Amino acid sequence: MNVHDSERIGGLLESAGYVPVDGGADPDLVVFNTCAVRENADNKLYGNLGHLRPAKQKNPDMQIAVGGCLAQKDRGEIVKRAPWVDAVFGTHNIGSLPTLLERARHNRAAEVEILESLDVFPSTLPTKRESTYSGWVSISVGCNNTCTFCIVPALRGKEKDRRPGDILAEIRALVAEGVSEVTLLGQNVNTYGVEFGDQYAFGKLLRSCGEIDGLERVRFTSPHPRNFTDDVIAAMAETPNVCPSLHMPLQSGSDRVLKEMRRSYRSKKFLAILDKVREAMPDAAITTDIIVGFPGETEADFQDTLDVTEAARFSSAFTFQYSIRPGTPAAEMEDQIPKSVVQERYERLVALQERISWEENRKLEGSEVELLVTVGDARKDGAAGRMTGRARDGRLVHFASAEGVRPGDVVTTTVTYGAPHHLVADTAILSHRRTKAGDAWEAGTAPKLPGVNLGMPTIGRGPEPKTEAPGCACG
């Protein structure tokens, strides 16, 4: 969701006359779009702002803006700790950024504007998309849950839903531009429709996506187990372009801890949902979020998490060490777990999930996969002559490159090896379909949005930190 917001920020600024900085040129503007789920996000922001201070002193006309969830949370504290920041805007007023920057230039003073409710639905703003072939589509913002570990509802507000017609119109426009894959976004995507009183709205929306010509892949994130109903499973299974992949946040395998988290399901129900999904879609890849070290978590509680993880057979998991978020009920709970204990449990969980991921990936050796090509060179994997794509189930696949294949194209190939975090396909490509998105990439017209992750500038380039794997401990 932050990536999508960053695309909106990029589009908004380009509409206001800004252009992305190329190479190592000095920027006139650096924007940080922030998260507040984990404490490390705070450290990253203020660390990066500190790195930019010398550049600001050298060029006082360079502007620095901070937006997103940390801005919503810290508000005026940001300019107190980093007085060289020019503008601070929250989650509800992304559209105010160009005006805030202009006022800061005119007044030679920091501008801070934080609204308590949504000003303009982000999807009405212009967008500078990263990709020619894949697009994010927000169907709702905000959250009506009260999970004790999560600060997001306080920063994003109550759930606001877009009308189905507006969502489908945006998707059709994307497809007309060459996009073949969309990901539907919501804090709790499967509660979509609560604002206009239709509990089946999300399943209907998935089926409507299946009627859009040229839309090849539909994904969504993140659902909540409490609201994950059979009609959604049926819509996934019966709509050909809805991908057999599901991100279902577990958070904990301990029923006692789930109760303390105010997660309104228990491990038995969670596993029953996975059974239903796999019955309808045997090849579905299911991923999850898990928090280790929630206040009061005992060794027995943690063992429950290990047991559920073993039973669930997730293809991969975003695993988090619990960190105190001021303003959340969990921050005031007794029995905060010592860091050393959390670290040791975290390492055990990661080792277990890595084994499971590897075992599940090895099962796919010899199978044929259809890939949406995403990267033209897989050198990060350490192997020359490979490209990278995503299978329909969401798995990352490094495959033998072939002349004429571009990011955005679709290929089919055969898996030769399953590694813990990806698949390898070193055999010859079985088929290759050129696409409109591939044409745009080849022509150099693919939209480029530098730095869409936490702490990385969306316009211009300051010092770039290392980024963690994406993911959020909510949903």
pLDDT in tens, 397-441: 999 999 999 999 999 999 999 999 999 999 999 999 999 999 988
Which range among 62-66, 381-385, 468-472 shows the weakest confidence by mean pLDDT?
468-472
Domain presence at residue 465? no
Q: Where are the beta strands (DSSP E) in 360-449?
A: 368-375, 386-391, 396-400, 410-414, 417-418, 423-425, 431-433
Cα 449 off chain centre by: 16
- Length of the chain in residues, anyone? 475
pLDDT digits (tens, 9 = 90+) for 21-31: 877 788 999 99
| CA–CA gap between residue 217 and residue 90 (Å, rounded) | 32
Q: Is residue 460, in this structure, part of any structural domain at all?
A: no
Looking at the structure, do residues 94 and 177 belong to the same domain, yes or no?
no
Mean pLDDT over 192-213 rounds to: 96
Which CATH number characterizes residue 405's domain?
Answer: 2.40.50
Range of the domain at 35: 2-113
- Rounded Cα gap, residues 20 and 38, in angstroms: 29
Q: Binning pLDDT at 50, 70 and 90, where does residue 451 land?
A: very low
Looking at the domain assignment, is residue 449 inside a domain? Answer: no
Residues 335 and 406 in one domain: no
Are residue 68 and residue 149 in the same domain, yes or no? no
* Structural domain total, the chain: 3
| 77 and 212 housed in the same domain | no
Confidence of residue 449 (pLDDT cuts 50, 70, 90): very low
Among 113, 146, 163, the domain-final residue is: 113
3-state SS class at 244:
coil
Q: Is the same domain home to 156 and 214?
A: yes
User: Cα–Cα distances in Å, from 66 out to 7, 32, 42, 82?
Assistant: 15, 5, 12, 11
Type of residue found at 375 = V
Residue 8: the pLDDT is 87
**Do 330 and 188 share a structural domain?**
yes
DSSP lists the bridge partners of residue 220 as 184
Whole-angstrom distance, CA of residue 420 vs CA of residue 442: 32
- The answer to whether residues 142 and 156 touch, using CB atoms and an 8 Å cutoff, is yes
Which residue is associated with the tokens 């709970």? 333
Q: pLDDT tens, 158-197?
A: 899 999 999 999 999 999 989 999 999 998 999 999 999 9
Amino acid symbol at 112: V
One domain, residues 221 and 293: yes
Tokens of 264: 């309104």
Q: Which residue has the tokens 């192997």?
A: 383
Identify whether 458 is part of a domain.
no
According to DSSP, residue 242 is labeled B
Q: In terms of domains, do 133 and 219 share one?
A: yes
DSSP string covering 265-316, please?
A: --HHHHHHHHHHHHHH-TT-EEEEEEEE--TT--HHHHHHHHHHHHHHT-SE
Neighbours of 298 (CB within 10 A): 13
Taking the C-alpha atoms of residue 216 and residue 214, their distance in angstroms, rounded to an integer, is: 6
**Residue whose token pair is 């709702």:** 140
Buried b (16+ CB within 10 A) or exposed e, 107-126: eeebbbbbeeebeeebbebe
Q: CATH number, domain at 84? A: 3.40.50.12160
CB 118 within 8 A of CB 141: yes
What per-residue confidence (pLDDT) applies to 186?
92
Amino acid making up residue 280 = A
179-195 in b/e form (b: 16+ CB < 10 A) is bbbbbbbbbbbbbbbbb
Tokens of 279: 């019955």
Nearest residue to 371 (alpha-carbon basis) of 353, 352, 394, 349: 394
Give the residue-averaged pLDDT of 44-60. Answer: 93
Is 158 found in the same domain as 208?
Answer: yes
CA 464 to chain centre: 19
Residues 6+ positions from 373 with CB-CB distance below 8 Å: 387, 388, 389, 405, 406, 407, 408, 409, 410, 411, 438
What would the mean pLDDT of 202-223 be, rounded to a whole number?
Answer: 97
Are 226 and 259 contacting, i.e. CB atoms less than 8 angstroms apart? no
Domain final position from 332, 362, 392: 362
Round to whole Å and give the CA distance between 415 and 398: 9
Per the domain annotation, does 414 fall within a domain?
yes
What SS3 string covers 199-252? CCHHHHHHHHHCCCCCCCEEEEECCCHHHCCHHHHHHHHHCCCECCEEECCCEC
pLDDT tens-digit profile of 214-245?
A: 999 999 999 999 999 999 999 999 999 999 99
Looking at the structure, tell me whether residues 341 and 381 fall in a common domain. Answer: no
Considering the chain, what is the average pLDDT of its residues? 88
Is residue 37 located within the same domain as residue 186?
no
- Per-residue pLDDT band at 445 (split at 50, 70, 90): low
**Nearest-angstrom CA–CA distance, 39 and 325:** 7
- Which CATH number belongs to the domain containing residue 336 in this structure? 3.80.30.20
Q: Residue 423 and residue 296: Cα distance in Å, rounded?
A: 38
Q: How far apart are the first and last CA of the chain?
A: 12
> Residue 463 pLDDT > 80, yes or no?
no
Residue 452: inside a domain, yes or no? no
Amino acid identity, residue 279? E
For residues 236 and 354, state if they share a domain.
yes
**Contact present, 245 and 220 (Cβ < 8 Å):** no
Task: Kindly tell me the sign of the dihedral angle through the C-alpha atoms of 410, 412, 417, 419.
Answer: positive
Residue ending a domain, among 305, 336, 362, is 362
Using one digit for the tens of pLDDT, what is the confidence trace for 338-392?
A: 999 999 999 999 999 999 999 999 999 999 999 999 986 554 444 568 999 999 9
The dihedral built from the CA positions of residue 227, 231, 234 and 235, taken in this order, carries a sign that is negative
- Residue 427, C-beta contacts closer than 8 angstroms, at least 6 positions apart: 400, 413, 414, 416
Asked if the model's pLDDT at residue 5 lies above 90, the reply is: no
424: its two tokens? 């390898």
Closest CA relative to residue 224, chosen from 255, 240, 257, 202: 202
156 domain-assigned: yes
Residue 32 belongs to a domain: yes
Vertex 374: Cα angle to 410 and 218 (nearest 5): 70
